Amino acid sequence: MSNGAALRLGDRGDKVRQLQAALAKAGFECVADGVFGPGTEHAVKAAQKARHLTPDGIAGPLTRKALAPKASAARTDGHDLTSRGAAFIGHFEGFSGKLYNDPVGHCTIGFGHLVHRGPINGSEPADLRGGISKERALELLREDAKEAADAIDRLVDVNLEPHQRDALISFTYNLGTGAFGSSTLLKMLNQGHYDAVPEQLNRWTKASGRVLPGLVARRKAEGALFSRGNYVA
């Protein structure tokens, strides 16, 4: 282990393992074996480049600090979809308090919560068979949106206000994490161009090559939520 604060090629020990865990948590492929080898050096360089630091492969204080927000041991509720954000998404998803089969034949309830694949067959949990309240449906929606929330935490490098996070979660929940991860929207946001987000959102209004009024309305509402904190869908 080097005597200084920086970690570099050849170092070993718990601090290296912690660094590796932070890199992996941040989405940079790295094995937490406690050995700072070429793989770890490559991951450090990638992380430094992503966070606009000198990509020298040496994990000094600045690099480790930049990774710290991404290395949290557990996500907090503050990074999840808020209750107001759930209500915002719910407006566009539509609500059913009773079990139903979605357009592709899967058992569903609430705001599009998948109960199981395939149609209703009597095997559904007892607490769902009798129907659910809108409040319970919103809880399920927040749980379903965790994948989108996790993607925001993993991919966005700039600070976000809760309403901005909610807007991006709505977009990602609707379009998928892959679409968000490869979008120009994400690239521009990570460059600090917050004001470009509403315009970029408005580019995603098509399905099967056709502009859909429902998507136009949703993207406009997400842009207003991101830029002004307007939760009125």
CA distance 222 to 169: 10
Which residues, in sequence order, are bridge partners of residue 107?
Answer: 101, 116
CA distance 230 to 91: 14
- Interhelix angle for 83-93 vs 162-175, to 10°? 30
Distances (CA, A) of 29 to 26, 42, 52, 209: 9, 9, 18, 35
- Is 93 a known active-site residue? yes
CA distance 175 to 140: 19
Burial 100-109 (b: 16+ CB within 10 A, else e): eeeeeeebbb
* Secondary structure element (H or E) that encloses residue 109, with its range: strand 107-110
Distance, CA of 183 to chain centre: 13
- Interhelix angle for 162-175 vs 146-155, to 10°? 110
Which residues, in sequence order, are bridge partners of residue 125?
Answer: none
Q: Which residue out of 29, 93, 139, 143 is catalytically annotated?
A: 93
Q: Which active-site residues does the annotation give?
A: 93
